[in-house]
């Protein structure tokens, strides 16, 4: 096949997050060509038919025979049709940018671009009068749409920018999930109304929300209800560390949501962990006991009747086992929680990332009873 055509087709395989009639996350996953037209002619080539591309978290990898390319994408969905700029960063055409437009189709999406790379098409037309390439894509048979995750982070006392990277990258290596991150700049105190919560339907497009925020003095009841309502109605959640100390409103709704009540923690030390529910899908395969790195152990005042403890950490200060891993049922929503996660080195621990990924998959109903992810949702 012509190398110029191959290079252009490679460039067309990069659609991480462009949308006209669909959400950006709908373009995540593994895709194959449904149809390619150049100058009005359908391309018939076995290499093209067998080509695949993977899209995840704003990046793409395209494979066609012995050709592999990777790149980045910039897009503008405010335009009609939506616009996209594709830049290859690894492959045979490093630095080349292709200008295109993109829209949804009944079984995937399609894109039009100028093979010359000098201008952007205005329509999805490829004919003898132009040098446009029109490429349509459909999801690869046997693959699933990745989970859509929202990580909400920020607040006092922790390295939330660093943790956002650790969590999204670490969990994406263990579960088939793409991420949006909300980390409002400059918010390092205990009081702040996170920007995403201002929308009434803030959780609508997500399969799971990870709360890793720390705003203990944000106590307005109406604001709290805005946050917990989607979870009560069924949106799964993962709650990490200081999330348990958030939103101390006059009601206990936040604590009913997370599954435990905690108002304080002890000093920082490594402590022994006990697997208290070895038959639970989240905990299958974890040792009966293990030790954390230096960490902050929360003191738990109450475990909700709707919650089930999965593991505890022994405190030499309270002289008792403090629940620090659990699952909870909040209305229609499943919640996985842990008070682990004060330090970056804790969240970087492979065992902790394994635990969090299991909990995330359990909350979304993608973890089987044997502790293994459902097909398509685990490690690739």
Compute φ and ψ for 57, nearest 5 degrees. 55, 45
- Whole-model pTM above 0.85? no
Whether residues 216 and 331 share a domain: the answer is yes
Length of the chain: 380
- pLDDT confidence of residue 18: 39
Whether residues 102 and 156 share a domain: the answer is no
Q: Which residue has the higher pLDDT, 244 or 2?
A: 244
Whether residues 114 and 157 share a domain: the answer is no
Question: pLDDT class for 314, splitting at 50, 70, 90?
Answer: very high
Residue 279: Cβ within 10 Å count: 9
Whether residues 32 and 64 share a domain: the answer is yes
Whether residues 256 and 126 share a domain: the answer is no
Question: pLDDT class for 13, splitting at 50, 70, 90?
Answer: very low
Whether residues 180 and 85 share a domain: the answer is no
Which of 97, 118, 139 is a domain's end point? 139
What is the count of structural domains for the chain? 2
Residue 30 lies in a domain: yes
Whether residues 241 and 341 share a domain: the answer is yes
Question: pLDDT class for 39, splitting at 50, 70, 90?
Answer: confident
Cα 247 to Cα 218: distance, rounded to the nearest angstrom: 5
Which of 139, 162, 190 is a domain's end point? 139
Residue 313 lies in a domain: yes
* Cis peptide upstream of residue 13 (ω within 30 degrees of 0): no
Question: pLDDT class for 78, splitting at 50, 70, 90?
Answer: confident
Instruction: Categorise residue 57: left if φ over 0, alpha if ψ from -120 to 50, beta otherwise.
Output: left
What integer best gives the mean pLDDT of the chain?
90
* Average pLDDT of the segment spanning 281-306: 96
Q: What pLDDT, in 10s, does the model give residues 115-137?
A: 777 789 999 988 877 778 899 99
Whether residues 118 and 188 share a domain: the answer is no
Judged on CB neighbours under 10 Å (0-12, 13-18, 19+), 224 is buried
Residue 3: Cβ within 10 Å count: 10
CATH number of the CATH domain containing 27:
2.40.128
* Average pLDDT of the segment spanning 76-80: 82
Residue 369 lies in a domain: no
Residue 373 lies in a domain: no
Residue 351 lies in a domain: yes
Whether residues 135 and 152 share a domain: the answer is no
Cα 239 to Cα 241: distance, rounded to the nearest angstrom: 7
Picking from 176, 167, 320, the residue whose alpha carbon sits closest to that of residue 243 is 167
- pLDDT confidence of residue 346: 97
CATH number of the CATH domain containing 235:
3.40.50.880
* Average pLDDT of the segment spanning 175-183: 95
Residue 156 lies in a domain: yes
Residue 379 lies in a domain: no
Picking from 154, 19, 148, the residue whose alpha carbon sits closest to that of residue 81 is 19
Which of 90, 108, 139 is a domain's end point? 139
How many CA atoms within 13 Å lie on the side-chain side of 194?
Answer: 28
C-alpha dist (Å) from residue 94 to 10, 55, 179 = 12, 18, 26
Structural domain for 114, as ranges: 3-139
Whether residues 187 and 134 share a domain: the answer is no
Query: Which value, to the nearest 10 degrees, does the dihedral of the CA atoms of residues 118, 124, 129, 130 take?
Result: 20
Whether residues 301 and 234 share a domain: the answer is yes
* Average pLDDT of the segment spanning 28-50: 88
Picking from 283, 311, 271, 292, the residue whose alpha carbon sits closest to that of residue 350 is 292
164 Cβ contact list (under 8 Å, min separation 6): 151, 153, 181, 183, 212
Whether residues 216 and 280 share a domain: the answer is yes
Residue 43 lies in a domain: yes
């Amino acid at each position: 096949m012509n190398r110029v055509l191959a290079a252009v087709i490679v460039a067309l395989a990069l659609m991480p997050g462009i949308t006209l009639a669909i959400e950006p996350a709908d373009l995540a996953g593994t895709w194959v060509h449904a149809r390619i037209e150049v100058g009005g002619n359908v391309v018939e080539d076995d290499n093209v038919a067998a080509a695949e591309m993977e899209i995840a978290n704003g990046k793409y990898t395209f494979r066609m025979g012995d050709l592999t390319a990777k790149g980045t994408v910039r897009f503008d969905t405010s335009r009609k049709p939506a616009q996209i700029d594709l830049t290859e960063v690894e492959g045979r055409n490093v630095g080349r940018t292709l200008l295109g437009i993109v829209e949804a189709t009944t079984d995937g999406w399609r894109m039009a671009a100028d093979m010359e790379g000098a201008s952007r098409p205005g329509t999805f037309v490829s004919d003898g009068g132009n040098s446009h390439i029109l490429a349509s894509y459909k999801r690869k048979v046997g693959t699933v749409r990745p989970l859509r995750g929202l990580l909400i982070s920020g607040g006092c006392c922790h390295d939330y920018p660093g943790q956002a990277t650790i969590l999204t990258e670490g969990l994406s290596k263990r579960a088939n999930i793409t991420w949006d991150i909300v980390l409002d700049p400059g918010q390092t105190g205990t009081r702040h109304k996170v920007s995403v919560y201002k929308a009434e339907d803030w959780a609508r497009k997500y399969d799971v929300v990870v709360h890793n925020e720390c705003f203990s003095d944000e106590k307005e009841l109406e604001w709290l209800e805005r946050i917990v309502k989607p979870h009560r109605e069924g949106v799964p959640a993962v709650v990490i560390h200081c999330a348990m100390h958030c939103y101390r409103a006059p009601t206990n709704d936040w604590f009913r949501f997370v599954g435990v009540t905690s108002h304080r923690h002890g000093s920082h030390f490594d402590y022994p962990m006990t697997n208290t529910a070895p038959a639970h899908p989240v905990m299958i395969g974890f040792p009966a006991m293990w030790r954390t790195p230096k960490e902050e152990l929360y003191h738990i005042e109450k475990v909700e009747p709707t919650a089930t403890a999965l593991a505890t950490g022994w405190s030499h200060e309270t002289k008792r086992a403090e629940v620090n891993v659990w699952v909870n049922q909040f209305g229609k929503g499943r919640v996985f929680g842990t008070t682990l996660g004060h330090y970056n080195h804790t969240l970087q621990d492979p065992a902790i990332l394994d635990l969090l990924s299991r909990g995330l998959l359990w909350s979304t109903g993608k973890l089987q009873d044997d502790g293994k992810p459902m097909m398509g949702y685990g490690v690739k």
